[in-house]
Amino acid sequence: MVLEPGDEVPEIRAPNQDGEAVRPDWTGVTVLYFYPKDDTRGCTTEAEQFQAELESYRDAGVSVYGVSVDGVDSHAAFAEKYGLEFDLLADPDAEIVDAFGVETRQGAAVRTTFVVIDGTVQAVYDGVHPDGHAREVLQDLVETGLVTLD
């Protein structure tokens, strides 16, 4: 069952694209987006757009993480190819996918995004369309007053 607004998020730890163990600090505002596969058309669009908005997210104090069941090597190649500067968490055993209750198809996570504030799910985006999603999440955060952009 997918986590819903009001649910506490689990503690997670996973290697990023550099092979470093990452444990997101759920303090403040965090965007955790699940995507099916590195270097595919939709996933590339989504990742590039999160990268394009990354400075605005950071200026607003928001951390961004991408998660897929791909491994560290795949994430490393994907991040390097597209200049991604945020952590891509490798979840080859789908432990994070399962912990958040994200649906899978053919072993890959269905595109789902969580907005987490101080360890609690604030919003869930299911059935995400990759084009424009990064901007949509940021605009929703601003419009709801959860963050401000200077």
61 is catalytic: no
Q: Report the C-alpha gap between 111 and 135 in whole angstroms.
A: 16
Per annotation, catalytic residue among 9, 14, 29, 43? 43
At 44 the three-state DSSP class reads: helix
Look at residues 15, 39, 10, 36 and name the one whose alpha carbon lies nearest to residue 112: 36
Q: Which residue has the tokens 């995400």?
A: 128
> What is the set of active-site residues?
43
